[in-house]
Amino acid sequence: MESSLTELQTLMESSDLGAPKRNSIDDKDTAQLRALVKEKNEKIAMLTAEFDTHRADFRSTIDTLEMASAETERVYEKRIDELMIEIRDLESRTDDVDSVARQLKQLEELVQELEEGLEDARRGEAEARGEVEFLRGEVERTRTELRREREKTSAAMNGSRGPTGGGDRPSGSKELEQKEDEIRGLKAIIHSLSRDSIPGGGADKSEDPS
């Protein structure tokens, strides 16, 4: 197209340069001049038509590119919308996962607290069992002492003669009552510890010393 424009400009310049020379070509007749002008006009018309054709093609190419650009933009916008939907969906799932993770963390902390409480309860149970065993030993010891005191008292009562032996009975009876009170107190403590601290411990009952 550039070569056609150059040729058109050359023809126009040669046409302009030919005007001053008309006085020097008087020997040419009018028919030849008209034929030359007609030829130049036809060539100019042809070049103009070619230029218009190229311009139309260029315009068509621009329109095609604009349509392709618009379609590409539409496709990309649609894809962006789809990606945004996927992102929101992933964010929602992430929130759900975070919520579940928080719940699991709370459950783990609760289980840990329960395990610590269970360990404390087991230690308390062991301590209570140890104290119960100690108190049971004290009861057995007191029973033994009480039995001995009863045997001594019985022997003293059987072997005593006269008013002297009768004077010791109130003292021996009082001591026996004190021992029995001590045994009852120890039994109450054992039952309380067995009932409050040891599951099923309340079923263990000490026998009556009498």
pTM here is: 0.36
What is the three-class DSSP state of 109? Answer: helix
> Which H/E stretch holds residue 210?
none
Q: Along the chain (210 residues), what's the average pLDDT of each consecutive run of 10 residues?
A: 63 56 57 85 92 91 92 93 91 85 90 89 85 84 82 74 47 70 78 63 44
Handedness of CA 67, 69, 71, 77 (dihedral sign): negative
